[in-house]
Structure 1
Amino acid sequence: MATLAQAAPSPIRLEVDASDTRQRIFRVRESIPVQPGPLTLLYPQWIPGSHAPTGEITLLAGLQIQAAGRPLAWQRLPQEPFAFAVQVPAGVDRLELSFQYLSPLNDRQGDVVVTPDIVAVRWQSLLLYPRGEPVAQQPVEATLKLPEGWALATSLDEQGRSGARIGFRPVSVATLVDSPVWASPHLKRYELQAARPGVASVGLNVLADSAEDLQASPEALAAWTAMVRQATRVFGPLPVPRYEFLLSLNAGFMRVAREHQSSAELSTPPGLFSKWAAMVNERRNVPHEFVHAWNGKLRSPAGLAPDDFNTPLDTRDLWIYEGQTQYWGYVLRARSGDLSPAQALQLWAREAAAMAARRGNTWRSLQDTTLDPVMRYDRARAWGSWQRSADYYSEGTLLWLAVDARLRQLSGGQRSLDDLARTFFSAPPPARQRYERAELWAALEALAPGDWQRFIEGRLEGTGQDFVTRTLEAAGWRLVFKAQQSELDAAIDRLAGASDFSDSIGVAVANDGRLNTVRWESEAFRAGLAPGAQLVAVNGRSFSTALLREAIAEAGRTRQPLDLVVKADERFSTVRLRADEGLRYPQLERIPDRPDLLSVMLSPLP
């Protein structure tokens, strides 16, 4: 099999023209060093951070391959549609490729990476690479053409410009794919942490449609600056010299939260900074993706870090990669002041209530949900509370809360998950260290002996819903339900244009009456309601969310059922639904005789 030249490896040369913002077509030229003989070129299929075979091979078009100026025939492998076989003639040391990447024109076709005001260059869509050598050992020199006058943000280092063309310093194919470039005529960079000896610079790059959205609010800058500081208190110094947040506030751009070693891709609707208090959920991914610089990028479960982008992943340890990262996202938001103590507790209450009511826990284990990316968890699931979907995030968060509480208990308060983060998620950069579960068990045992493998794997493989109660009690709290909705929950509802009555009658309903979700075995489920149906009337009056709220509260006092008129499949029906417990909104309540470990976990480090 032909491979990259072995002596003094010659780099792949990649030229990408990303200047077409009208038709949104990327035009690619690539020169690949080869040896004579059979060669297989691969188009990335398993994309880092997605944990799934999400490579967009159907958007690659017009592939032409030449050797010494002559066209070469290629053949797609029938059982590997991401692989292209060619025969390299004698005397040829390079192949010249050209093709187009036809980026989606709307979100039905895929991630929209080009709008009139923003371009996201995601290199995995714009190259092929030879099978054989690990991608970390294949050098590549990339050149990018952008629209005239546009600014860019990336963690890649430039090595020269000529007009709208930018050249980047050579890196490995692995590093290039892990280093997106975002560009816009409207871009502003903020320094969250200045570079100094032993300290990496951290930048916030905002790309937006309007000048107003480019102006990061003082609250945002203060919270994210503190978050960077608190994260490095937990994990130690960043393992890279420079880190860049790429944040879009563009209405037509893709919705993304994707981690990279030296950057993060993030997007929110416009208005994040001007509506900071209301958009509490829209900013949750900032600390999450930052933590991945250590957990997931610097150190990764072995099954999630193969040598190329076409080997299927073993996703069974996503409860570590994503679950613990999600836990740290909650903690760092509280420690940085992004959330008030009351807001932090309320978000934990929401998470706990959702998990406690998720009937899918009774038949499907947390471990089994780690296979959801392979089963395409991006597909809509009508009965999510029964089917489950990627619960290694939400339930994984509670698992790591339980681990933190147990570490503190077993060590008499001398050890915590902070200590695991400092000792386990560190390695001499830039090498990425793979690990197996046995190493994690050993690290936990070194902190506080406690048969950690049995404790964690019992939770991973078990079914049932009592784990929520046990976890919260271990941290000194219990889940309760009150008739009064918290201001945070109300703000989330307002922004979503919906009202969440999941803990009252089992539905979340949009302002127009459409049922967004129906919980399995809830009162709404027993009454025959399904997602997508539309509430038309409540107790004989035209539907509104305010009226439904009043009716639920009244039913709690009178024990009289609700009479609903429902439209589904262009047909109307009357449904009678019990709401005997009235309005129920989750909250956390202190257990007086238990140590308050949760508040300690959420407190800033000095």
Structure 2
Amino acid sequence: MRRTLAFAALLLATTAPAAAQLSAPQPVPIVDTIPAARDIDYPGTLRLTIDATDVEQGIFRATETIPVAQAGHMVLLYPAWLPGKHAERGEIEKLTGLTFRAGDTVIPWVRDAVDVYAFHIVVPEGVEEITAEFQFTSAVSSNQGRIVVAPSMMNLQFPSMSLYPAGYFTRRIPISATVTYPEGWTAVSGLPATRDGSTYTYETASYQVLVDSPVFAGAHYREWELSDRVDLNAFADRPEMLEAATPEMIAAHRRLVDQAIKLFGTQPYDQYEFLVALTDEMGGIGLEHHRSSENGVGVDYFSDWDNALGDRDLLPHEFVHSWNGKYRRGADLWTPDFRMPMRDTLLWMYEGQTQFWGYLLAARSGMLSKDQVLGALANVAAAYDARVGRRWRPLIDTTHDPIVAARRPKPWTSWQRAEDYYNEGLLVWLEADAKIRELTNGRKSIDDFASAFFGSGRDGDYGEVTYTFEDVVATLNGVVEADWTEFLTERLMQTSDQAPLAGFTENGYRLVYTDEPTPWFRNYQSSRNIADHSYSLGLVTSRSGGISAVIWDSPAFEAGLDVADDIIAVNGNAWSAEALTEAVRAAQGGTEPIRLLVKSGERYREVAIDYHNGLRYPRLEKTVSGVAGLDRLLAPR
């Protein structure tokens, strides 16, 4: 025993120094050689020419002429942090064929080793301008990103096919763009242009404004004037999709504009263009801009108006953003260029209150009926009633989700949480309205906040006015004095077992669950081709049986199901969505579990869900007689 211990000690003594002498490098320092943005004029006007005629392969060919101030080191940037995306979403991987020239001389470039959106060049002596040539090779399949070119339309976004010089606020860099589209097409942007056949020459503007001025173009187009400053521009895969629009439908869009102006007061644009694509060929989108918005809706937007409900709060939402998010913008979200990272901590205001107003203006204008909006709000309330991730992750932390998760699919959304600042933010603002009504005996509402916060500027000003948390609180206190700091801090910063549903209960309604879905919920399921049993079994399936969501801690979760599973059979019978619904109904009050045959990959297994409380679908139930606060909130002005 002693000899063994002695040998072990000798071995330790001979090996220990070797471990201590492991190689141990020091890091190479990161030296930022990219000039910081300065609030000074760029010396010259950039000229951008784009050939957008390649509809078959979706390749945009760009030539950009860039005046230079002096010889030597220069950095050109590709936009990375894009307004409205809330994250670094520039599609740098699709920039190809990049070549810089001074006259006929090719200038070598080097990509920055840290910021891959930056390109370093050395400008030769005596050169007054350089030319960049490159292509934007847009997605031709949905697994490569959003498809922006279809046979009959396209969505041209200038940040995807342009560079800008580092060292300047983008609002101080002038640029003139010219684009050639397919013959016979019409193009519309919030940036004015003159047309010569298929070539559009856009008004010289700052690079910031150009980036904020996307284009929809297409072969099948109609325009409706909604006011003296707002137009509805619709593009479609086929002309009959546009012909289905009736005067009553367009009148609802006109009322949307009217109700928004009555709400906010001044208009933060000189002219506003709704860009709307009725398509199942080009990728969907809903993106705000100051003088326009990009709106991708279904091909049945007009032709099935009574049933295409899911698209009808999109235009109200994006229109509100002209006031909230574009004109009034979170101070930490505003950046001087598209390289500086955006900080999303105020998205509960930027997106949450916009989501709130989007639904309300849909109701006030008749884009959706009051009952449809009540159905939609019930669905929102129920979703957050079941969002158990509130126990560990406060709402404010979800504002980082566009960066943290980059909108990738999640296995357990109800526990991980997602971009909840949209709809849970809506619930917070609904509660703020109830509080204002209570404290003022109904004399004031959240409308008073909206007019004070968004309507106090100069009409037609499409610059930006930033705000902080303290500015929001100060405006609320200007409407009615209260503990608004504590109110917002509690709902944003703290975890909770309870969804913030006081906006309903204090405004004359409550969330209940019944065994029959509302018309809104039926439409929600049919339009998405799903069966939603979130509030009973705790799962959502496709009509073919694939599980798309499982609620954490629900009966389905406890039974071991997840989003990799497909349901093959229900209680011994072949799968159908109707069979699952009937199984839930039949199990109510009983003792026998619901038995599923489940396939995961190549493996089959039987799963028993011990659930007996029947079907549960959300709806809002009125709790007061007469006109409730929520009724007043949804009524037109």
TM-score under structure 2 length normalisation: 0.91
- Are residue 181 (structure 1) and residue 209 (structure 2) matched? no
Q: How has the CA–CA distance of structure 1 residues 407 and 324 changed in structure 2, closer, same or farther, with 3 Å as cutoff?
A: same
2:564 counterpart residue number: 532
2:235 counterpart residue number: 207
Report if the CA contact (8 A) 1:120-1:183 is conserved.
yes
- Cα distance in 1 for partners of 2:494, 2:628 equals 27
Q: CA deviation at 1:560?
A: 2.7
Report if the CA contact (8 A) 2:313-2:368 is conserved.
no
- Cα distance in 1 for partners of 2:38, 2:384 equals 50
2:125 counterpart residue number: 90
Mind listing any 5+ residue stretches in structure 2 that lack a counterpart? 1-34
Q: CA deviation at 1:595?
A: 7.7
- Map 1:133-144 to 2 at 5 A: 133-144=168-179
Candidates 505, 528, 540, aligned match of 1:496 = 528
Candidates 42, 55, 66, aligned match of 1:21 = 55
- Are residue 154 (structure 1) and residue 154 (structure 2) matched? no
Q: C-alpha deviations, 1:245-266, integer Å up to 9, x for none? A: 1111121201100000011101
Q: How has the CA–CA distance of structure 1 residues 67 and 281 changed in structure 2, closer, same or farther, with 3 Å as cutoff?
A: same
- Cα distance in 2 for partners of 1:283, 1:343 equals 11
**What's the secondary structure of 2:489's corresponding residue?**
helix
- Map 1:48-197 to 2 at 5 A: 48-159=83-194, 161-193=195-227, 195=228
Report if the CA contact (8 A) 1:4-1:35 is conserved.
no
Q: CA deviation at 1:3?
A: 9.5
Q: CA deviation at 1:284?
A: 2.0
Q: How has the CA–CA distance of structure 1 residues 81 and 2 changed in structure 2, closer, same or farther, with 3 Å as cutoff?
A: closer
- Are residue 352 (structure 1) and residue 352 (structure 2) matched? no
- Cα distance in 1 for partners of 2:500, 2:475 equals 25
Candidates 525, 542, 559, aligned match of 1:510 = 542
Q: How has the CA–CA distance of structure 1 residues 7 and 487 changed in structure 2, closer, same or farther, with 3 Å as cutoff?
A: closer
2:432 counterpart residue number: 403
- Cα distance in 2 for partners of 1:250, 1:590 equals 38
Q: CA deviation at 1:493?
A: 1.3
Q: C-alpha deviations, 1:373-426, integer Å up to 9, x for none? A: 111331111111111110000100001101111111122222221111111113
**What's the secondary structure of 1:572's corresponding residue?**
strand
Candidates 271, 278, 281, aligned match of 2:300 = 271
- Cα distance in 2 for partners of 1:137, 1:297 equals 18
Q: CA deviation at 1:163?
A: 3.3
Q: CA deviation at 1:489?
A: 1.2
**What's the secondary structure of 2:260's corresponding residue?**
helix
Comparing 452-461 and 274-283, the one that deviates more: 274-283
- Cα distance in 2 for partners of 1:589, 1:519 equals 24
- Map 1:147-546 to 2 at 5 A: 147-159=182-194, 161-193=195-227, 195=228, 201-215=229-243, 216-426=245-455, 427-428=457-458, 429-546=461-578
Report if the CA contact (8 A) 1:33-1:94 is conserved.
yes
Q: CA deviation at 1:468?
A: 3.0
Report if the CA contact (8 A) 1:5-1:33 is conserved.
no
- Cα distance in 2 for partners of 1:62, 1:420 equals 51
Report if the CA contact (8 A) 2:594-2:610 is conserved.
yes
Q: CA deviation at 1:89?
A: 2.2
* Amino acid in structure 2 at the alignment position of 1:179: S
- Cα distance in 1 for partners of 2:522, 2:376 equals 12
Report if the CA contact (8 A) 2:87-2:342 is conserved.
yes
- Cα distance in 1 for partners of 2:414, 2:363 equals 28
Q: How has the CA–CA distance of structure 1 residues 365 and 595 changed in structure 2, closer, same or farther, with 3 Å as cutoff?
A: farther
- Cα distance in 2 for partners of 1:18, 1:219 equals 36
- Cα distance in 1 for partners of 2:379, 2:270 equals 37
- Cα distance in 2 for partners of 1:271, 1:469 equals 34
- Are residue 600 (structure 1) and residue 628 (structure 2) matched? no
- Cα distance in 2 for partners of 1:389, 1:220 equals 34
Q: How has the CA–CA distance of structure 1 residues 101 and 274 changed in structure 2, closer, same or farther, with 3 Å as cutoff?
A: same
- Cα distance in 2 for partners of 1:13, 1:51 equals 28
Q: How has the CA–CA distance of structure 1 residues 189 and 417 changed in structure 2, closer, same or farther, with 3 Å as cutoff?
A: same
- Map 1:559-598 to 2 at 5 A: 559-592=591-624, 596-598=628-630
**What's the secondary structure of 2:326's corresponding residue?**
coil
Mind listing any 5+ residue stretches in structure 1 that lack a counterpart? 196-200
Q: C-alpha deviations, 1:452-471, integer Å up to 9, x for none? A: 11110111011113243433
Comparing 350-359 and 564-573, the one that deviates more: 564-573
Q: C-alpha deviations, 1:73-122, integer Å up to 9, x for none? A: 11111001001111222222211111111111111111111111112110
Report if the CA contact (8 A) 1:2-1:34 is conserved.
no
- Are residue 33 (structure 1) and residue 67 (structure 2) matched? yes
Report if the CA contact (8 A) 1:224-1:338 is conserved.
yes
Report if the CA contact (8 A) 1:2-1:39 is conserved.
no
Comparing 8-17 and 317-326, the one that deviates more: 8-17
Report if the CA contact (8 A) 2:36-2:168 is conserved.
no
- Cα distance in 2 for partners of 1:511, 1:561 equals 22
Q: C-alpha deviations, 1:44-68, integer Å up to 9, x for none? A: 0011111110000110011111124
Q: CA deviation at 1:532?
A: 3.1
Q: CA deviation at 1:441?
A: 1.3
Q: How has the CA–CA distance of structure 1 residues 604 and 5 changed in structure 2, closer, same or farther, with 3 Å as cutoff?
A: closer
Q: CA deviation at 1:341?
A: 2.0
Q: How has the CA–CA distance of structure 1 residues 175 and 5 changed in structure 2, closer, same or farther, with 3 Å as cutoff?
A: closer
Report if the CA contact (8 A) 2:42-2:172 is conserved.
no
* Amino acid in structure 2 at the alignment position of 1:348: L
- Cα distance in 1 for partners of 2:38, 2:132 equals 15
- Cα distance in 1 for partners of 2:395, 2:198 equals 49
- Cα distance in 2 for partners of 1:101, 1:324 equals 35
- Cα distance in 2 for partners of 1:251, 1:585 equals 30
* Amino acid in structure 2 at the alignment position of 1:332: L
1:198 counterpart residue number: none
Larger radius of gyration: 2
Q: How has the CA–CA distance of structure 1 residues 594 and 387 changed in structure 2, closer, same or farther, with 3 Å as cutoff?
A: farther
**What's the secondary structure of 1:334's corresponding residue?**
helix
**What's the secondary structure of 1:15's corresponding residue?**
strand
Q: How has the CA–CA distance of structure 1 residues 532 and 592 changed in structure 2, closer, same or farther, with 3 Å as cutoff?
A: same
- Cα distance in 2 for partners of 1:538, 1:431 equals 58
- Cα distance in 2 for partners of 1:361, 1:95 equals 53
Give me the CA root mean square deviation. 1.8
* Amino acid in structure 2 at the alignment position of 1:206: A
Q: CA deviation at 1:219?
A: 4.3
